[in-house]
Every structure is written in structure tokens, then in C-alpha cells.
Amino acid sequence: MSLLLRAPFRGVTYTRWLHLLVPILIVSIWMFIEPAWPWVPALIVAPFGLLPWVRLAEGLQAQFLLTPQERGRHDGSISTAASTRWGDRWRTVAWLEIRLLLAGVAMTATVWLPMMSLELAVTGAGRSLGSDVVILPVIPPRWLALALVPVPLVLLLVVVVLLGRAVTAIAARLLGPSAAERLSALEARTEQLLERTRIARELHDSIGHALTVAVVQAGAARAAGDPEFTERALCAIEETGRAAMEDLDRVLLVLRESAQPPSQRPTLADADRLLNSARASGSPVDAELSGPLEQLPGPVTREGYRILQEALTNVLRHCGPVPVRVRVEAAVGRLDLEVSNPLPGGPMLMTGTGSGLRGIRERAALLGGEAETGPYEGSWRVRARLPLERIR
């Protein structure tokens, strides 16, 4: 009852009504050609359902008029994609035939029920529409005719609401996403979530590294009281901040889904930038990079850069400007990366439970590799091994 009371005030009631009446245009045109064969339009529209673009057109129209709350959504109950399989084509044929049938019912109710109300009103007024226009099977008394005037209109509202709900449910069934489309949408959604997770982790690594270097540099410059050292510290802070801003701009472009191509993500070929930042922070860095790093697969060299960045950030954040040993080797079938530093505060100074170290292990695992973080022979060591063969 509440649905019927709200129906006249809901725009979707009238858009669904319009959707129900649209196919009558085809029948009306045919009736001018051959009124003796009114069933022919059902045969005419059937072959059109086999055309891929017809499902697209019907889906757009149904989404616009039947489910306006889903308008423009690609994950709605009604698909807006062309037919790609024969199953989709045959479902479109069934949809066209059922839609034509429901259109006939809706048109009959739309014409005859208001005419019944009009004849009841005229009868109640003591007049007649004429001998050629008789809709009521029985002419009631005048008082009863006046009392029955709203009944056909209420019945029309009931028919429109029920047919609208029925055609929407049928559209979701016959024009809804197929199993292959649902699987494709799920895969796309999963890829989007993974991409956003990767972006968040990458942003944490980049900005965290820049802020750590800036804090360490500022503290060291203030403690040193040396103008020359302060100048070098400010240059290092500027360079690190500029690199972090480039990363931030690229991430924001991706998050906005901009059409502009994002700038190239840093790779291990850019590792000198990280090593120089650590050295400028006061940490003596003993680095050894060997092997064809510039020929590494894209995912490996990009994630390797982030692992190295997070490892150096971890050193500066927790231990300060201590000596750091870096080993990066592109061996046969794998990439080995190791960063170690002494623990001046004892082996329990760094627990390895932070999100940065967890991110290192997750990055390695996503590429099918492994990473170890923790105390090792009086030092703190980050060691990662990434496979190359399965990535190519």
C-alpha cells in the first residue's frame, strides 16, 4: 500500500511507464501498413536481437529509464555492453519479444482504463459519449457511476507500477551482466584495489623517506654549527623534497585517473639518488651494485628501488647517521638486495614490526620472492631475493 501511495510522486514510475510504451511505436507504424496482421512486429524485431549493438542500445535505454539510480555505472544490474556471445544474443531476442508483449498490456491499460473513468463520469452526469463509444459492459446507476470514477485510474496506477517492476526485473535477468562480464568486472575491481594499495604503499615509502632525510639533515646541521655542512644539508633536503614531490604528483595523477601518462617510476638505475641522500644525511654508505641492473624486468627493478628506499629510510629513522652497507646484485635468474647497518642501541632497538618492513616483505612476496628483516650478527639486515625468470 505504501508503495502505491508513493508511486505517483516518484519520477521512476513515469520513466518506466514511458519505457513500457516505446515499443508501441513499432506496432503503430505497422498497423498503418497491414492492420490485419498485428502479430508481424513480433517476427520483425526478433532478428535484430542477434545484432551485438542492439543489446548495447537496449541496455542504455533500460538503465536510463528503468534504473536511473544506476545511470552511468558499469557495475549495475543492467549491462551496457554489446553482445559478445551467442547466449547474450538469444537473451536479447527474448527481451525484445517480452518487451513487446508487456508494451501491448501497458498500452491497453493506458488507453482503456482512463476511457472507463471518463465514461463513468459522463454517465454520472446523466449524459452519454455516444452510441459508437461504449466501453463499460454494463451501465451502472448515476450515483454508482460517480463513485466508481477513480477506480479505473487507481487500477491504471497499479498496473503501471506492477508492470514497471516486472520489466525491471526481466531486464536485470535478460540484459544483466553475463557470467563472463561479471568475472571481468570483478577482475577489474581487484586490479583497481591492488593498484590503489600499491600506490598507498609507494607513497608511504617515498614521502616517508623524504621526511626522514629532511629531519635527520636538519638535526645534524643544527648540531654541527658548520655553515658549509649546513649548506650541504639544505641542498640534500631540497633534492630529496623535489624527488618526493615528483612521486606525489605522479600518484595524484593516477588517483585522479587522468588521461595524462604518469611520469616514469624510479628504478634501480636511479639508486644513486637514494645513496647520495643517505650520504648527505651523514651516513657513510658502502655500496656495491653489480650486474645488468638496467636490463631487469620493470616490476623487479621498480619494486627493488622501493625496497632499497624503505631499507635506507629505516636505518636513518631508527639508528641515525650510522655506516650502511648496501649490496645489489643482478645474478642469473634472481636479484639479490641486502642493506645492513650496526645497531648502536643493541639488537632490540628495531623490532621489525613496522608497516615499512612489512611492506618490504609484501613487495617481495608479490613478485614470488622473499625478504628477511631483523638482527644478524650484531647488525640489522634487510635482505631480499626476487626471481627474474617468472617475471619476464
Measured CA to CA in angstroms, residue 246 lies from 205, 215, 234, 272, 273 at distances of 13, 19, 18, 17, 13
- pLDDT band at residue 83 using 50, 70 and 90 as cut-offs: confident
Say which residue the cell 639486515 belongs to.
381
Say if residue 137's pLDDT is above 80. Answer: no
Q: What is the model's pLDDT at position 74?
A: 67
CB atoms within 10 A of CB 287: 18
Report how far residue 268's alpha carbon sits from residue 307's, in angstroms, rounded to the nearest whole number. 10
Concatenating the DSSP letter of every residue in 16-72 gives HHHHHHTTHHHHHHHHHH-TT-TTHHHHHHGGGGGSHHHHHHHHHHHHHHT-GGGTT
Q: What is the model's pLDDT at position 107?
A: 93
pTM: 0.51
Say if residue 264's pLDDT is above 70. Answer: no
End-to-end, the C-alpha distance of the chain in Å comes to 64
Instruction: Calculate mean pLDDT across residues 91-113.
Output: 93
- For the chain, the average pLDDT equals 81
Say if residue 261's pLDDT is above 60. Answer: no
Q: What is the model's pLDDT at position 352?
A: 44
Q: Letter for the amino acid at 223?
A: A
- pLDDT band at residue 259 using 50, 70 and 90 as cut-offs: very low
- pLDDT band at residue 129 using 50, 70 and 90 as cut-offs: low
Report how far residue 279's alpha carbon sits from residue 324's, in angstroms, rounded to the nearest whole number. 9
- pLDDT band at residue 190 using 50, 70 and 90 as cut-offs: low
pLDDT in tens, 315-340: 887 787 889 999 999 888 889 999 99
Q: What is the model's pLDDT at position 260?
A: 40
Give whichever of 251-255, 345-349, 363-367 has the largest mean pLDDT.
363-367
- pLDDT band at residue 95 using 50, 70 and 90 as cut-offs: very high
Say if residue 144's pLDDT is above 80. Answer: yes
Which of helix, strand or coil describes residue 143? helix
Q: What is the model's pLDDT at position 253?
A: 59
Report how far residue 258's alpha carbon sits from residue 248's, in angstroms, rounded to the nearest whole number. 14
Angle between helices 179-224 and 298-319 (to 10 degrees): 40
Say if residue 372's pLDDT is above 80. Answer: yes
pLDDT in tens, 32-66: 777 777 777 888 888 988 999 999 999 999 999 99
